[in-house]
A and B are shown apart, each in its own frame.
Chain A
Amino acid sequence: MIDHIDVGMALKVLKIIGIKGDNMQSTVSVLLHVPSKMAEWKDIVKIEDRELDPRELDKISLISPNATINIIRDFNVAEKFVVEVPDIVKGIVRCQNPGCITNLSEPIEPEFVVESKKPLLLRCIYCDRIMTDASDYLI
């Protein structure tokens, strides 16, 4: 279960995980605009029989840095942790600068230095452009 997703980001989380509706063999539950004690509102996504890989966790951290992962096994919470924005973001976000060399057909992965985690500030190591919102640029 992914709790404390920033309100409005649940559908983007589904996209990150690759859930399209017709490619799952188990139940997926999505709660939108749920009252939250931490923030005013939050989203929640619950997926059965699926654990997230590090790349997916990094992507979720970029669009919802407070998201909490609860891994439930045999009706008990087996693991619980808050996603963490990595120090270097490589190969999961493309640069928002259309003039950046990484958006041409060059054999390199886009790479960003995380200048600040909250609020999110990503600096492209190639063109130096600062990005504050990665949600529309996830690869």
Chain B
Amino acid sequence: MSQEFKGCDLVAIRDFSRESIEHVMDLAEKMVPVAHGDERCTLAAGYVQGSLFFEPSTRTRLSFASAMARLGGTTLGFDQPGGSSVQKGETLADTIRMVDTYSDIIVLRHHAEGSARLAAHFAKKPVINAGDGAGQHPTQTILDLFTIRKEKKKIEGINVALVGDLKYGRTAHSLAEALALFGANLMFVAPPALQMPKETVRSVEKLGSKPQIVNQVEQALSDADVLYVTRIQKERFPDLAEYQKVAGSYKINNALLKDAKPDLSIMHPLPRIDEINPEVDQTPHALYFQQAFYGVPVRMAILALLLGVVD
């Protein structure tokens, strides 16, 4: 193992080396039966997770709570700032200092980019970034990598097409960098107004990737092993008119998938709105619900490593 995990923060995916991410995934593999409820575990008994969700979340928040419970620990916190001192004007720094004294590890989702880095600056305990606005969402990235590795048995050389809101979608940025780190072949599929930001393209190129940039999903479909679809997020757009121009740009349905490889897997961080027609759920291509489940074993592995209850 290349990295000592105990006490570390996980703010951005680049905080972890490739080897470290592989170690997390190996451990997550062992956590799957516990996450399913087939086995019990008390690795984190007596430990407390501080869960601060300043923005709505279903999967991330619940899977962190489930992960901590499956490890034998407990969770305290809030899922909307309305019930906390934040509403009275408390700074994030002060909220973090307080929660730092009540818990052993802090999980933070906040609307401001860089909020998790700030939290890590003020907290003595490990901080896990559960999404900072349009910034990073590293645990989602690791669970996405885990899902691909589990389904395709490898990541290197796999053709992954990222589709949808690549400009504002936080998962797409982290995932593109991580996939490049693991040697996947990347395609960025988005209308020009929602294409991958320059910084991310530069980052993946630095990692040796040569992403193909296209506007139409049909251009990527025949070669893709994985189609990673993201929601066009209304709340991230600074301008409603800009949102309305691109809303509903991509709709994945069975007619479109006729040209796809038989073993194409479709992933989505969820929630979806109308990007993937429910008829696709019944096909072997649909991997998104399984992907959502993998959030639990992956987050169990991350919590256990950062708490130092496993090596």
Complex interface: chain A residues within 8 A of B92 (CB): 101, 104, 106
**B120-159 CB contact bits vs A (8 Å, 1 = yes)?**
0100000000001111100000000000000000000000
With an 8 Å Cβ cutoff, the count of chain B residues facing the other chain is 19
CB distance from B259 to the nearest CB of A (A): 37
Contact at A99–B93, with CB atoms within 8 Å? Answer: no
CB distance from B119 to the nearest CB of A (A): 9
Contact at A107–B91, with CB atoms within 8 Å? Answer: yes
A52 CB–B CB distance under 8 Å: no
The CA-CA distance from A104 to B95 in the complex, in Å, is 14
Residue ranges of A at the interface with B (Cβ–Cβ < 8 Å):
95, 97, 99-102, 104-108, 124-130
Contact at A101–B115, with CB atoms within 8 Å? Answer: yes
Complex interface: chain A residues within 8 A of B115 (CB): 101, 126
B114 CB–A CB distance under 8 Å: yes
Contact of A106 among B91, B113, B132 (CB under 8 A): B91
Contact at B114–A128, with CB atoms within 8 Å? Answer: yes
Contacts A100-B112, A101-B113 known; list 5 others, CB within 8 Å: A99-B133, A101-B117, A106-B93, A108-B118, A128-B136
Contact at A126–B117, with CB atoms within 8 Å? Answer: yes
29 A-B residue pairs with Cβ-Cβ distance under 8 Å, sorted by A, are A99-B112, A99-B133, A100-B112, A100-B113, A101-B92, A101-B114, A101-B117, A101-B132, A104-B92, A104-B112, A106-B91, A106-B92, A106-B118, A107-B91, A107-B93, A108-B93, A108-B118, A108-B121, A126-B113, A126-B114, A126-B118, A127-B113, A127-B114, A127-B117, A128-B12, A128-B113, A128-B114, A129-B199, A130-B199
The CA-CA distance from A33 to B70 in the complex, in Å, is 69
Complex interface: chain A residues within 8 A of B199 (CB): 128-130
Complex interface: chain A residues within 8 A of B134 (CB): 99
Name B99-124 residues within 8 Å CB distance of A: 110-115, 117-118, 121
The CA-CA distance from A85 to B112 in the complex, in Å, is 28
| A99-B133, A101-B118, A106-B118 known; A129 vs B91 contact (CB < 8 Å) | no
Closest 4 CB pairs of A and B: A126-B114, A127-B114, A127-B113, A101-B112
